[in-house]
Amino acid sequence: MRSLVGVPCIGIGVRVVPEVAPSMLLLRGRMFRRNFRVCASSSPATESIRVRFAPSPTGNLHVGGARTALFNYLFARSKGGKFVLRIEDTDLERSTRESEDALLRDLSWLGLDWDEGPGVGGNYGPYRQSERNALYKQYADKLLQTGHVYRCFCSNLELEKMKEIAKLKQLPPVYTGKWASATDAQVQEELAKRTPYTYRFRVPKEGSLKIEDLIRGEVSWNFDTLGDFVIMRSNGQPVYNFCVTVDDATMAISHVIRAEEHLPNTLRQALIYEALGFPMPKFAHVSLILAPDRSKLSKRHGATSVGQFKEMGFLPQAIVNYLALLGWGDGTENEFYTIDQLVDKFTIERVNKSGAIFDSAKLRWMNGQHLRSLPLEKLTKIVGERWKSTGVLTESGGSFVEEAVQLLKDGIDLVTDADKALATMLSYPLHATLASPECKPVLEDKLSEVAASLIAAYDGGDLCSALEEGHTGLQKWVKSFGKSLKRKGKSLFMPLRVLLTGKLHGPDMGAGLLLVYKAGNCGVLAPQSGFVTLDERFKMLREVEWESLLYKDNPILMPIPIPIIEE
């Protein structure tokens, strides 16, 4: 039994345990008996915590990737460690700098600032895999020299035939090891012919790997499920599992917190760690984010990328809060956290190993909570800029914007909701409201008589004088108006709401009416805002045919006009 040493790294050591039935390994031209079991064992924490998020720049940042980044960030910050960003861009055909830039923007927008990585630097760079090829070649050659890997000259056709034969025999499609025991002369002959070759890692024929996953507990694999695998392609490009292992080891990564879909990669990576003499980090494999139908969350379920949610009007703090709760909780019923509170509460032990359901409605609700918790000044700035950018207002600030945000904020869950909220307030859908079944009781409560008195009050200037005085003046006028009609409560306020706003529901009627009055005088509304002024509203009121509305469902009951007989 031995513990490996190498680049400083906290976590899981690798023990090589001899077993009874030996297998043969060609090592530096000599035959050695080798069959072992690799076990992961906890070792005392002696070095600093270092975690990494390593996305591939082949598309947008998915919410699953964002949650993985968040868990790494929270773990590092809660432990006083380092959060490293590494770009895994070895897929030369699909990786683009545009995607990388978008990833960096999304992470920055979420507030997940990295301690080392692109744009920041650090002592373990470069932080793009495409810039680390010399390092991969160095370690691949080391493995070749020590006999842990060998050159494989098999063509693609030969490899396909191996797969077909294995399939016919109902065996795993693993490499048969044709070149594993080739002589130096056979290898030199192929090299002289310049036959393309890959580097294949020698996998023990018997034995097992066992790790203690920080989320899933004990996980094990048998070596006989894995054939000798490629670590360097024939074009000189390293394979993913080899890159990741070399990078994590040489960057002194102490804990690898990643998605559960990477769990099968652990076997290959552990073998490479052992062969290079590097201690393994501790692993924590996070569950997948699932759609409501419990399938893997994908584009067919709607928005799935951070960039999309940003465009839809979500706040970064709401996204962070919601993603943290997908598979983690602090044991309380609290659901509302700032990122600082998450850092304080987060522990990897409380991450759930079962899949988490992504609920768009819950995310929207949470965003509304965060939005309304913002200081009013900040909320006004965000919403005001939104209204100006969409062309509704000509100015993003001022008293009208401040009062509008104060009035409408309770009905806004997303920043983009502010557009509809303002448009609704400025509109006057009187005819549609009067024709609706819900308005029938109001209509039958002598709404036409209230309308006639209201028109008289407007024409006489009483209503405008009250609006000019503000909230207090309007309150006095409403009370006096109700007294003159012998109405109060719902019998007074519902008819006034319908007649003045054109709607049955909405925010505080008095505040809304004052804002409509101000909108007609402040000059900040753009022509395309759809604003209906008070003058236009009362013009529409004068044109309403009350009797046809009242008796539209029962035209037989409509009063018959009495003809006037002229003498």
For the annotated catalytic residues, the residue numbers are: 299
410: which 2 tokens? 């309770």
β-strand pairing of 198-201 with 149-152: antiparallel
Structural element, H or E, at residue 467: helix 462-469
Q: Tell me how far apart the alpha carbons of residues 358 and 364 are, in angstroms, rounded to a whole number.
A: 11
Q: Which residues contact 101 (CB under 8 A, 6 or more apart)?
A: none
**Tokens read off for 386:** 């939104």
Query: How far is 414 from 143, CA to CA, in rounded Å?
Result: 55
Pair 67, 34: CB distance under 8 Å = no
Please check whether residue 420 is in contact with residue 412, taking contact to mean a CB–CB distance below 8 angstroms.
Answer: no
Distance in angstroms (rounded) separating the CA atoms of residues 159 and 230:
12
C-alpha distances in angstroms, 72 versus 82, 152, 328, 360, 452?
Answer: 9, 38, 13, 24, 67
| Helices 462-469 and 447-459, axial angle in degrees (round to 10) | 70
66, 305 Cβ separation under 8 angstroms: no
Coil/strand/helix, residue 221: strand
In the structure encoding, which two tokens stand for residue 20, read together? 């009874």
Per DSSP, helices labelled H in 150-284 are 156-168, 184-192, 240-250, 265-276
Lookup: tokens for 74: 């929270």
Helix (H, G, I), strand (E, B) or coil at 402: helix
Is 44 within 8 Å of 61 (Cβ atoms)?
no
Two tokens, residue 394:
């000509």
**DSSP secondary structure of 89-126:** ---TTT--HHHHHHHHHHHHHHT---SBBTTTB-TT--
Element holding 144 (H helix, E strand)? helix 133-145
Give me the DSSP letters along 325-373. Answer: TSSB--SSS-----HHHHHHH--GGGB-SS-EE--HHHHHHHHHHHHHH
Tell me which H or E stretch contains 142.
helix 133-145
The upper half-sphere exposure of residue 431, i.e. CA atoms within 13 Å in the direction of its Cβ, equals 7
Contact partners, residue 552, CB within 8 Å, separation at least 6: 435
